[in-house]
Structure 1
């Protein structure tokens, strides 16, 4: 947790009460992702909460892969999860743990349940099982195989373990209560057959435990004191407790639920994110438009901004939707403080300063950051030929336009005031060049000195600059709830979520930028080198975020 002065959330109050009343002597939490995809914004909140609790109360947090479904899991995801956790600023206790580390013990406990008449091998198919389960208003009915003897169940389970049955031929189910109002207690599946190689255990197993069975027992083995889940697992807690109470586990962990992080303009279903990747709507799990931690990292988000966002979103037991502008605000706040300034012209228009000597180059200085004098200055090379942005010139315009107009003056950022005299056009009538004049002795002078200019615009030298590509990223979806109800989320993809600009002109100093450097391109937003496409010969800058929220304006105007 980053702010120890704010009011405690309900989980922190529980932890503090447990410590004060000696219910626990040390806080032990865990972050248990399934390695079947890359982590996303929702996982960031869970990481922040679980690791943050351990940090705040001097405990430990385990990283445990919930690797109980080898069909969907991959070592690539295991490695990506570790990278994401560490990038967010956390370190797990000891080695990375896996649910598969406990497969032998889980199997032994399944045998224990059979021996005590609390589990049975069921031959119902998945479809038949759904029919027998009942509904929210009607009780289920017992499987015809529920009353098999202990001996028969032990023999059948051994055959399952030995690989003598095909996938789906049978399963091991807990014997609880088919009339329970909680459907999760209607004889849930504990083991299912999957003839699939596992990324950790290879071909040792052909039966795999369900999440509901493996989760609580893994917590107990690790001595977890506070097992924190999102609200959708609240109805699963009675099953969590049933397994803990009916097995000779070494500890008695307790599960607590909090509201998941739902953010508008975002999709966080792993299945849907994987669909975006597989169908090449994006260029990978780390596409800068994706809500994955890897995507946000490549885009240029900071770990601090994500942690601050999670803090701002809060920890409650009430589901809701958080406005993405809260995340964007946290990001701008962090970037404003840490990003040095630079200038980059995204849509270059050449300006010839007709009264400036052709062979002269002037070295001007500008602060690297307006609030950080200790960061020093950067050099700007001023000469006869410059680039400004095409949007910063109009031949004629109204009084609200505060940039360069024919016959009017504007200040070049950290440099001279200039006055536009002539616009040179091509055969199609497009402006291709400006002729302007420098107003002498105006560097560093303000309006109080009698030098009037309509506004301030950015520029770069046409002789000393860095040619680069700029990628303007925006929200991936144009609808605030792209996958709500029966919507097809693909129908709401924002066609302007990526614009690639070639031939951009940046300050020459940006040639020294590294992959971890974030900059504010003055008047344009915050940018970072792209870790995939950028090279020494062709730097590619990603826009992390604009300087202000333009979406709010668009929605109001709409």
Structure 2
């Protein structure tokens, strides 16, 4: 179903209504990641939604880093996030924004709350604060420091700001309602001491605002018309609104929530992804098995496939788990239509064509794509010696086996029909070579004219080819819900998620492959060059996905 015929989702309806009623004059959205890890496939849904809505309604979308916790944030993550957003095909409005750009204003607004009697410095320890906070069924109780005077709170907050007080000794809390049914309104912390340099502001600050305090105010500063977030922030909405209503902010944005992306066989917790990286279960944030956008990119996923996936899953307020097969379907569908074809032999077996002239090399033409004339043709050198897959030959086989068998014929893709005549074995009894005859009149001949080989197999020239390594990637987790309940997700890491095949032989044209190129290795799946591990004479190709598409059949 095209985007034009697909029914509008609830956020599109809200924005259209707001524009028609005059509630807003211009749509301004934002994508506000915390720079404490790399973006993953769940973030892609938010990126496509925020940037997509802005594009659809003639508005703009900001990229803002919610960088309120220097203990977990790094510039490496900032740069990776910017690359990923652009790779997906989106551009933010104006300069990149940071919550830290507004630290001075946020500090002034914290002072405003103190002067209004709506914030106080609390010396409860973290454990005491949790005890005073109550539970979902029991109301909290007031901190013994709640009724300090405005003057005392201003003086203490300045001591926090100057570095005179130690980390954990106190915090600044909003004075709301310790008996509120919504636990987020029970005097939440809005500033805490953290004597740590910030990747944007250096050593200027040793107090930092909480996410809840900073987020809505930055939305207001940027005049965000629709502050769109995932459902886990729904319970924080009353607090979002309380700050907006009790501070002299320049605008009053509205928060809307949608269901986050939950994908089976996948973990998207940044804490758990970081653990996979830190404990070397994977080769970095961009490991092709990771659900990060950089990992998917290195695996060979295209921006179009991810955007199409986000379009297919839709936007609702109902939590659900999406089958990872749907994501795999999207990349197969994209690459099937757009990826040039190539041949690569993973486990080479030498074939000698005994009746082919020694020293002769033909240049055979093959289509770049069966349905795309614009992808041209590729040239395949063909000579007396070639390689085929070892599994494509048997000395004896039943009628169901459609490949090369002693005394039987098979067609080489885009080339000739050959017949196996003799095997050569080493001292261990292993086949090292198969001697065949080639029918030099068979290229391009219609099978109805009498040449009826058992099947078609791929091959590469033994003299002119690309030596390469192929990395066969599979799902990182073998369990459908690896981190559900009390499960330790590390117990479900798939031990077969990576198989490295050395000594592979690819057709000669792949010598010019780049990491932005994608190929269907005929009969083997879709692959791309691994730019991280390829260099010099070493060419490494990553399998993006196999050819078989079970999800489309099931759906």
User: For this structure pair, what is the TM-score category when the shorter chain's length is used for normalisation?
Assistant: over 0.9
Aligned ranges 1:251-270 → 2 under 5 Å = 251-270=251-270
Mark the CA change 1:175 to 1:45 in structure 2 (over 3 Å): closer, same or farther. Answer: same
**CA drift at 1:423:** 2.2
**CA drift at 1:551:** 9.4
Matched residue of 1:333: which SS? helix
Please list every run of 5 or more consecutive structure 1 residues that lacks an aligned counterpart in the other structure.
none
TM-score between both structures, scaled by the size of structure 1: 0.97
1:22 matches 2:22: yes
The match for 2:45 is 45
The match for 1:96 is 96
Aligned ranges 1:380-395 → 2 under 5 Å = 380-395=380-395
Q: What is the CA–CA distance in structure 2 between the aligned matches of 1:313 and 1:372, rounded to whole Å?
A: 29
Matched residue of 1:184: which SS? helix
The match for 2:180 is 180
Query: Contact 2:514/2:531 (CA < 8 Å) preserved in 1?
Result: no
Deviates more, 1:544-553 or 1:30-39: 544-553
The match for 2:216 is 216
Q: What is the CA–CA distance in structure 2 between the aligned matches of 1:401 and 1:264, rounded to whole Å?
A: 36
Mark the CA change 1:245 to 1:211 in structure 2 (over 3 Å): closer, same or farther. Answer: same
Q: What is the CA–CA distance in structure 2 between the aligned matches of 1:490 and 1:454, rounded to whole Å?
A: 46
Aligned ranges 1:419-434 → 2 under 5 Å = 419-434=419-434
**CA drift at 1:529:** 1.0
**CA drift at 1:336:** 1.4
**CA drift at 1:318:** 0.6
**CA drift at 1:403:** 1.2
Deviates more, 1:289-298 or 1:534-543: 534-543
Q: What is the CA–CA distance in structure 2 between the aligned matches of 1:517 and 1:264, rounded to whole Å?
A: 28
The match for 1:121 is 121
**CA drift at 1:499:** 1.1
**Residue deviations 1:436-486 (CA, integer Å, cap 9, x gap):** 111231111232122111111000011111111111111111111111111
Matched residue of 2:262: which SS? coil
Q: What is the CA–CA distance in structure 2 between the aligned matches of 1:57 and 1:453, rounded to whole Å?
A: 58
Q: Which runs of 4+ in 1 moved over 6 A?
A: 550-553
Computed over aligned residues only, the root mean square deviation of the Cα atoms, in angstroms, reads: 1.5
The match for 2:522 is 522
**CA drift at 1:75:** 0.6
Q: What is the CA–CA distance in structure 2 between the aligned matches of 1:399 and 1:134, rounded to whole Å?
A: 74
**Residue deviations 1:250-281 (CA, integer Å, cap 9, x gap):** 00000000000111111111111111111111
Q: What is the CA–CA distance in structure 2 between the aligned matches of 1:373 and 1:532, rounded to whole Å?
A: 31
Query: Contact 2:353/2:436 (CA < 8 Å) preserved in 1?
Result: yes
The match for 1:328 is 328
The match for 2:295 is 295
The match for 1:347 is 347
Matched residue of 1:501: which SS? strand
The match for 1:148 is 148
Please list every run of 5 or more consecutive structure 2 residues that lacks an aligned counterpart in the other structure.
none
Q: What is the CA–CA distance in structure 1 between the aligned matches of 2:124 and 2:69, rounded to whole Å?
A: 20
Q: What is the CA–CA distance in structure 2 between the aligned matches of 1:153 and 1:374, rounded to whole Å?
A: 71
Matched residue of 2:124: which SS? coil
The match for 2:362 is 362
Deviates more, 1:403-412 or 1:323-332: 403-412
The match for 2:491 is 491
The match for 1:468 is 468
**CA drift at 1:552:** 10
TM-score between both structures, scaled by the size of structure 2: 0.98
Q: What is the CA–CA distance in structure 1 between the aligned matches of 2:249 and 2:44, rounded to whole Å?
A: 30
The match for 1:436 is 436
Query: Contact 2:305/2:334 (CA < 8 Å) preserved in 1?
Result: yes
**CA drift at 1:2:** 8.2
